[in-house]
Structure 1
Amino acid sequence: MDYHQKLKNIPETLKLVTEWKAQGKKIVHCHGNFNVVHPGHLRFLEFAKKQGDILLITISSDQSLGVALSKHFFDENERARGVCAVNFVECVAVMGREDLLSFLENAQPDICVKGREHEQHKDYNDVEEENIVKKNGGKVVYGAGRVDYSSSELLHQPAEIIKEQGVAQLQKVCTKQNIELIQLLSIIRKYKQLKMLVIGDTIVDQYIACDPIGMSAEAPVIAVKEIDKKEFLGGAGIVACHIKSLGAKCTYLSVVGNDKPAVFAKDVLDEHQVKHILIEDSNRPTTYKKRFMVNNQKLFRVSRIKEQTINEDLENKVIKNLELIIPTVDGVVISDFSYGLVSPRVLKYIQSICEKHNVRIFADSQCSSQIGDVSKFKSIDLITPTEREARIALRNNDDGLERLGYELLLKTSNQNVIITLGAKGVIAFGRKEINGKLVNDSVHFPTLVSNPLDPAGAGDAMLSAISLSLCAGANIKESTLIGSCASAIQVERLGNIPINMTELESLIIESLRYSKSDEDPMRLAQ
């Protein structure tokens, strides 16, 4: 069923409802703005569909949004078209507030589905709608859909199709958000004018290629034979290398142990011409992670780490360097793996010095396999949690993604939040206020890689490119697109390898389907 067949006016919709009820169908109704349909909406709509037979969606009209709010939304036809594209939605109608109340009275849906946030924060409109539904024998169900941190798309579609769909979605986002190819390339070219400081935990990753032998005869243990191994710089170190490789000047500040992994990290940083200050702590080892693999598939990981806040003497050394470096840079990138370097005192000094010298701050606090809280970063330019990390920070496993991003902006007072969704891409939330009230301003960017070889370094590459782009004058939407492309390059490699400007420009041009008959965007961007 195409777009025009699904989109109906109110009389047509009511006629369909009558026919469906005569057939014994259970009608499920949802209402919303649906500015840009993203994975959070799809989870919600999938949940709603499971409540009955027919999924009927009504969308707020432009007029009902009001002049101030409608400026930040696509027009009602664009929003309706997006919902119509969801294959399990049977009917879509656009209506204002009074039309909605009248529609609920006449349609008498069996079930009305609302997001979990409406249950916890009911307003007058929610109560009014709920009363009408219940009066006519219906019920209201609250839910945001199932929270999944992995994707099953490859079970249903070939990888090539998924990638093509991602590219097509990206092109639509660029069109709707007025993101221009020439502007993106111009932003990347400005990287070479920037000076950045990266502070965070140094990690060395070892990849061990193995041959499977089988099951051990002594115990139910998988037996493998080591055939090769290779080390890569990870953690905050690779963020610094990405930034330098993309053209900016970069200084790297970290604490390491007195061991071979620390020597390896210094050698890699020297190789990529990253200026580094590695403060030695003889009481802790440099974090070292071993990944055992068979045919490019990871079996398991063994980590040698010490999760303990650095002592006061080390804090003083870190702060002394911060006082010298921060006044000379455009931005500070904090890559925190919750191993103890970014202590409350160190973080307080970073924010104090940056505020004094008008230096921007970008941060990520990983807690996928250890304790961490990304919401400790407050009043800064950007945080980039995964969905799991965002839910941990908010202690919220119920609300939808829109509410999640809104709550993080509200709790942290940060300018931007990017929630990463793995194979589902990312959602960028920018701080926007209308009449003094914070409103959602989010955009979903799809993934460009359907079957990544090694997703471990995706977030580091994204954080590096987005931080540089924001410092270069890009807005959050342009920056997120560039960051998504950087992430796509990284995940198609095994191990962390710094991304360079040429690779990034090439993928952006390829993804936006630049026509060779047009004027050369590389020349225009110079």
Structure 2
Amino acid sequence: MKTPPQNGFRRKIKTREQLLEAIGPRPRSEQVIMCHGTFDLVHPGHIRHLMYASEHADLLVVSLTSDSHINKANFRPFVPQDLRAMNLAALECVDYVIIDENATPIENLKFLQPDFFAKGYEYSSEGVHPKTREEMATIEAYGGELLFTPGDLVLSSSAIIETTPPNLAMEKLLALLHSEGLDFGDLKTALTKLKGVKVHVVGDTIVDSYTYCSLIGGTAKTPTFSVKHEREVDFSGGAAVVAKHLRAAGADVVFSTVLGDDALKDFVLDDLKAHGIDCHAMIDPSRPTTQKNAFITNGYRLLKVDKLDNRPISENTVEALKKQIAEHKVDVVVFSDFRHGIFNKVTIPQLTEAVPEGAMRVADSQVANRWGNILEFQDFDLITPNEREARFALGDQDSTIRPLALDLYKKAGCKLLILKLGDRGMITYRAPSPEVRSFFTVDSFAGNVVDAVGAGDALLSYATLSLVATKSNVIGSILGALAAAVACENDGNNPVAPEDVLKKLNALEKRSRFE
């Protein structure tokens, strides 16, 4: 069988120690020229720059800035470092590629001592930049030479990304899988291991109602829409749908929540029972079962009417919840916080302390209409906020995504952070080691988005179970992203089945083989 081209390209990608061994120390028999940059998208300007450089030495080494040092704009780098390295290695004019883990190329210039260092013309057209002067001094100190390549074709990766970003979700996924020693078979196997994981979900139940209407018209005297009621559909949402996602994936689920003494309570209890969930609901006659009713006409949401009481639950209810949490010996406890009474600064430490020893702790705190703060869930194994929730928790509206995520990861003290970025996918932060990087990204795989409500709940559920079953944060992130994509492509807040995720996986695998 013919060796896949990418395997041949990868031999060009070296560590700096491997590269020094390959090119040898100065003076060397073959002259070496080095180029350095981000190369977030390789465009014709880059190609001209690299081709010109390759003509001035025997070997062309391209050094690229690692992901951890790119802060030029939000959601950057657009292309992760492993894939950027592959893109460069695939070029015939490039002999070697190195990922520079430093903020500047200075250290590698000192270590490798290339005979020439090539810079783009734009770096010299208006005087020498201070950073370039530092590079020049470093090169001249060992007897090297700085070259400037012609600037007759100047393009910008940033401009291309900001105007017409290409869809590289598949390429990024394949690069991530390869870097972690995984493949589609591992993802499929993980799906089969979710069954039987014991989970205790604690959180606020919300009945998501959709009232479908047809537009009759407006009234003559007031700016009021007149609609005809067609039908109403109710879904058990909030923490209840997290429980349903987990159960649909095969987990054994215990669910603790607080409900009002009303008809919606009966709907929720019947629904959860039908889905095989062991529900331990505390009934509080003083509050309604939370309901959020969206009125929809011709596919547009005209209005949402909420029925709720956001008062903190009573001390007796807190004690009852603590007892339930402590009594159920499970693999993982999920706190699903919608800030409708169960979770607050007082109750979170108490409920957390009740989690059985050895159980994985997971939390999600939403701030759609409330003031939840994910940082109140300290030292958890997994937290899954979205960008808005992260910015709210940190009081930071300015930082770009990667520094924002890193700051939240450190301040939360969590083992794993999955920061949800909507249609841009997610960024995952984890504890780094010599073998693994501290963060990685997974793009969204949603095709035709019908209803994004509940996508985060699906992600939380599948990521959690995958982490318990496989201990792999990469598999957890990918399966979570795929479950979220499935949820987005279906109307209503319905649980995602493993068969649907597998179908998505199979489709991606076929695409990866160009079938």
Instruction: Note whether the superposition's TM-score is higher than 0.5.
Output: yes
Query: 1:250 touches 1:274 (CA, 8 Å); kept in 2?
Result: yes
- Which residue of the other structure, out of 477, 494, 498, is the alignment partner of 2:495? 498
Alignment of 1:161-200 (within 5 A): 166-200=169-203
Change (3 A) 1:411 1:93: closer
Matched, 1:423 2:423: yes
Question: What is the identity percentage for the equivalent residue pairs of Structure 1 and Structure 2?
Answer: 26
Structure 2 partner of 1:78: 86
Alignment of 1:197-276 (within 5 A): 197-276=200-279
Per the TM alignment, residue 78 of structure 1 is displaced from its structure 2 partner at its CA by 3.4
Query: 1:383 touches 1:418 (CA, 8 Å); kept in 2?
Result: yes
Question: 1:434-455: CA deviations, max 9, x gaps?
Answer: 79xxx97222211112441110
Per the TM alignment, residue 260 of structure 1 is displaced from its structure 2 partner at its CA by 1.1
Query: 2:70 touches 2:76 (CA, 8 Å); kept in 1?
Result: no
Change (3 A) 1:178 1:8: farther
Amino acid at match of 1:413: G
CA distance, structure 2, for counterparts of residue 77 and residue 433 of structure 1: 21
Question: 1:379-402: CA deviations, max 9, x gaps?
Answer: 111111111111111111111111
Change (3 A) 1:440 1:234: same
Matched, 1:314 2:312: no
Alignment of 1:350-361 (within 5 A): 350-354=351-355, 357-361=357-361
CA distance, structure 1, for counterparts of residue 99 and residue 431 of structure 2: 30
Q: Secondary structure at the match of 1:472?
A: helix
For normalisation by structure 2, the TM-score amounts to 0.72
Amino acid at match of 2:106: R
CA distance, structure 2, for counterparts of residue 231 and residue 81 of structure 1: 54
CA distance, structure 2, for counterparts of residue 256 and residue 353 of structure 1: 21
Structure 1 partner of 2:60: none
Query: 1:362 touches 1:381 (CA, 8 Å); kept in 2?
Result: yes
Question: 1:8-45: CA deviations, max 9, x gaps?
Answer: 76895799xxxxxxxxxxxxxxx94236999x956568
Matched, 1:475 2:472: yes
Matched, 1:6 2:46: yes
Amino acid at match of 1:503: D
CA distance, structure 1, for counterparts of residue 457 and residue 133 of structure 2: 44
Of 170-179 and 481-490, the range deviating more from structure 2: 170-179
Per the TM alignment, residue 313 of structure 1 is displaced from its structure 2 partner at its CA by 1.1
CA distance, structure 2, for counterparts of residue 126 and residue 260 of structure 1: 71
Amino acid at match of 1:269: L
Per the TM alignment, residue 308 of structure 1 is displaced from its structure 2 partner at its CA by 1.8
RMSD: 4.4
Of 182-191 and 200-209, the range deviating more from structure 2: 182-191
CA distance, structure 1, for counterparts of residue 447 and residue 69 of structure 2: 21
Change (3 A) 1:14 1:373: farther
- Which residue of the other structure, out of 293, 298, 307, is the alignment partner of 1:295? 298
CA distance, structure 2, for counterparts of residue 363 and residue 105 of structure 1: 48
Question: 1:397-451: CA deviations, max 9, x gaps?
Answer: 111111011101110110111111111111111122679xxx9722221111244
CA distance, structure 1, for counterparts of residue 489 and residue 323 of structure 2: 39
Q: Secondary structure at the match of 1:357?
A: coil
Per the TM alignment, residue 2 of structure 1 is displaced from its structure 2 partner at its CA by 5.9
CA distance, structure 1, for counterparts of residue 463 and residue 259 of structure 2: 26
Query: 1:319 touches 1:346 (CA, 8 Å); kept in 2?
Result: no
Change (3 A) 1:36 1:465: farther
Q: Secondary structure at the match of 2:286?
A: coil
Query: 2:202 touches 2:334 (CA, 8 Å); kept in 1?
Result: yes
Query: 1:34 touches 1:79 (CA, 8 Å); kept in 2?
Result: no
Amino acid at match of 1:97: I
Change (3 A) 1:195 1:5: same
CA distance, structure 1, for counterparts of residue 487 and residue 69 of structure 2: 27
Alignment of 1:499-514 (within 5 A): 499-513=496-510
Structure 2 partner of 1:63: none
Per the TM alignment, residue 300 of structure 1 is displaced from its structure 2 partner at its CA by 2.8
Query: 2:321 touches 2:351 (CA, 8 Å); kept in 1?
Result: no
CA distance, structure 2, for counterparts of residue 207 and residue 337 of structure 1: 19
Matched, 1:33 2:66: yes
Matched, 1:488 2:485: yes
Question: 1:214-252: CA deviations, max 9, x gaps?
Answer: 333222333322211111110000111111111110000
Change (3 A) 1:251 1:43: closer
Number of residue pairs matched? Answer: 431
CA distance, structure 2, for counterparts of residue 515 and residue 391 of structure 1: 35
Structure 1 partner of 2:20: none
Alignment of 1:36-47 (within 5 A): none
Query: 1:171 touches 1:512 (CA, 8 Å); kept in 2?
Result: no
CA distance, structure 2, for counterparts of residue 353 and residue 109 of structure 1: 65
Matched, 1:330 2:339: no
CA distance, structure 2, for counterparts of residue 257 and residue 127 of structure 1: 70
CA distance, structure 1, for counterparts of residue 330 and residue 403 of structure 2: 34
CA distance, structure 1, for counterparts of residue 219 and residue 185 of structure 2: 58
Structure 2 partner of 1:444: 441
Amino acid at match of 1:300: L
Change (3 A) 1:358 1:128: farther
Matched, 1:283 2:277: no
Change (3 A) 1:6 1:304: same
Amino acid at match of 2:105: G
Amino acid at match of 1:431: A
Query: 1:7 touches 1:93 (CA, 8 Å); kept in 2?
Result: no
Amino acid at match of 2:449: P
CA distance, structure 1, for counterparts of residue 487 and residue 417 of structure 2: 21
Per the TM alignment, residue 509 of structure 1 is displaced from its structure 2 partner at its CA by 1.9
Structure 1 partner of 2:462: 465
Query: 1:466 touches 1:480 (CA, 8 Å); kept in 2?
Result: yes
Structure with max Cα Rg: 2
Q: Secondary structure at the match of 1:432?
A: coil
Amino acid at match of 1:96: P
Query: 1:36 touches 1:79 (CA, 8 Å); kept in 2?
Result: no
CA distance, structure 2, for counterparts of residue 210 and residue 296 of structure 1: 10
Question: 1:354-378: CA deviations, max 9, x gaps?
Answer: 3x52110111000022111111111
Change (3 A) 1:432 1:79: farther
Change (3 A) 1:258 1:177: same
Structure 1 partner of 2:22: none
Structure 2 partner of 1:116: none
CA distance, structure 1, for counterparts of residue 172 and residue 489 of structure 2: 20
CA distance, structure 2, for counterparts of residue 193 and residue 316 of structure 1: 28
Q: Secondary structure at the match of 1:293?
A: strand
